[in-house]
Amino acid sequence: MQSQGLSINLATIREQCGFAQAVDICLQHGITAIAPWREQVAAIGLNEAANIVHSNELRLTGLCRGGFFPAASFDDRQKALDDNRRAIDEAATLGADCLVLVVGGLPGGSRNLDEARKMVADGISAVLPHARQANVPLAIEPLHPMYAADRSCVNTLGQALDICELVGEGAGVAVDAYHVWWDPDLAQQVARAGQMNAILAHHICDWLVPTAHMLTDRGMMGDGVIDLPGLRRMIEAAGFHGAQEVEIFSDNWWARPAQEVIATCVGRYQACC
């Protein structure tokens, strides 16, 4: 089957359809692995989403997302922990392979990256017992350094793996090509992640030249400059053979029919990944 090994992160067609319709379109293209976002699940209701997942025997390569741990006040940090525990429970109900963590950036008004990074490690430590009990691995997703201020102060795979070592069993990484492709230390850190048995997910899209918008101009595989097969070889050599999950934030692709987007994902996955 041409879509074997392919997963669709539902953010890729989030502007076109809700959870149920997105699943239908994936199934029509022979795709049985997805990764939904919590707001997409919430919109249809957790029970109904779980029902769709289980009745169709879908594989969930991840639930997006937990994280956003840093906050200026103690109360807000506690609220973030509570929200992460709810996200863990949702991931367990859905049977997701992992809960993806976008860890958060600088708290408002702060210029202290070290402190934000400490808040992230502390936050993951705090919710990890709950995650272990629920049997939901936490996938720290290092985000591109251009998101250091506002989305994630964990910006390299090496840094994410350092946190995994610090917090212990139950945490791993989501390796997203878009975020890590530039890293001169990439090969070494992917190998290290393999030795740690820490690779929980592999996300793909492409880096466009030029890139018109920092968040919403990610490319379809093959339209940019990332050596996606090279990264996949590294990841498989490190022992991860799970699905490649397409996650494209793009005003361009969001403006096209979902059927066209998913058909293109399948074709490009075959040709370029």
| Alpha carbon distance 56, 234 (integer Å) | 32
Residue with tokens 């996300």: 203
Q: Does 271 bind its own copies (CB under 8 A)?
A: no
Q: Where are the beta strands (DSSP E) in the chain?
A: 6-9, 33-35, 59-60, 63-67, 99-102, 138-140, 171-176, 199-204, 244-246
String marking each residue 69-108 x if it binds its own copies according to CB under 8 A: -------------------------------------x--
CB of 106 to its own copies, least distance (A): 6
Q: Does 148 bind its own copies (CB under 8 A)?
A: yes
Binding to its own copies (CB under 8 A) within 156-195 occurs at 156, 158-159, 181-184
| Alpha carbon distance 236, 241 (integer Å) | 6
Q: Which stretch binds its own copies (CB under 8 A): 14-22, 38-46, 59-67, 111-119?
A: 111-119
**Of these, 27, 46, 81, 113, which contacts its own copies (CB under 8 A)?**
113
Cα dihedral 97/99/102/104 (nearest 10): -160
Residues that bind its own copies (CB under 8 A): 106, 110-113, 117, 144-146, 148-150, 153, 155-156, 158-159, 181-184, 207, 209-211, 214, 224-227, 230
